[in-house]
Amino acid sequence: MADVEFKIDGHVAHVRLNMPDKMNAISGHMDELLFEAWEEINTNPEIWCAVLSADGEKAFCIGADISDGPERKSRMALAGGLTGIGGPMVKLQKPLISAVQGFCVGGGFELAMCSDIIVAANNAQFGLPETRHGIIGECGVVHRAVRQLPHRIAMAMILTGERIDSAAALQYGLVNEVVEFGQLDEVALKWAHKVNKCAPRANQAAKAAALSRLGYPLDVALMTRFEEIEKYAESEDVKERDKAASEGRRPSWTGY
């Protein structure tokens, strides 16, 4: 069984961490497999969205596998959980849904925060334990946390190492839905099907536009022309959209 399972079902890519005995800590080998998965998702037009999950009830991911040693070279970079320290930055172009259970801490927390939609099991615990253990570096997780959580909630987590549970994560807008652990995969897949009802190229263009101007003033974002949106305007799906509208039917998207 692979350390990271990857499969495509319809237009959904499934990426699953598969080291529950190590609480799905990311080893160098797992890191490489994740990198390959993100590359396939980005380049395969038949993939419209992805679901990231993990095996076992105890942990989604506790971050890097420290048994690899401090000299480990990583692509994951925790520059977003999807790239490695000193490695190339990987931006996932397709929508990403994370299904999170148990401990989701450190680099694992960052990996979840790279997603666009998070479904959490009711046993999920989110945390940044780095400073409690005397660890801090070019730590992408703190930069994401302070942008995705209320400021003082994020700073309290950063400066104390204390975790928040799934109910608090829902209250603070970190996750979209909280479910029983046994329903986690099913509900995450339902979100994927909701996403894939939309035009895939339109979704990709919308994600690129929204995230690329997230840190800019509104007037700058409003005046920006987005290459992805302009490319979508010339796509087959735009022709299908207009044809379906004239024929009074639902469009049948192709992603081209």
Asked whether the beta carbons of 199 and 223 are under 8 A apart, the reply is no
Give 250's contacts (C-beta < 8 A, 6+ positions apart). 244
Count of CB atoms within 10 A of residue 54's CB? 28
Asked whether the beta carbons of 83 and 42 are under 8 A apart, the reply is no
Query: Is residue 53 classed as helix, strand or coil in its secondary structure?
Result: strand
Structure tokens at 183: 């329903």
Q: Judging by DSSP bridges, how do beta strands 12-17 and 4-9 pair with one another?
A: antiparallel
Q: Residue 165 — φ and ψ, nearest 5°?
A: -90, 180
Asked whether the beta carbons of 197 and 173 are under 8 A apart, the reply is no
> Is 130 an active-site residue?
yes
- DSSP run (H or E) holding 45: none
Query: Is residue 112 classed as helix, strand or coil in its secondary structure?
Result: helix
**Tokens 């703190």, residue located:** 142
Which residue is catalytic, options 40, 110, 177, 228?
110
Task: Tell me the C-alpha distance between 27 and 142, whole Å.
Answer: 21
Which residue is catalytic, options 32, 130, 138, 240?
130
Give 47's contacts (C-beta < 8 A, 6+ positions apart). 8, 11, 12, 13, 40, 41, 94
> Is 247 an active-site residue?
no
Question: Which residues are catalytic, by number?
Answer: 110, 130
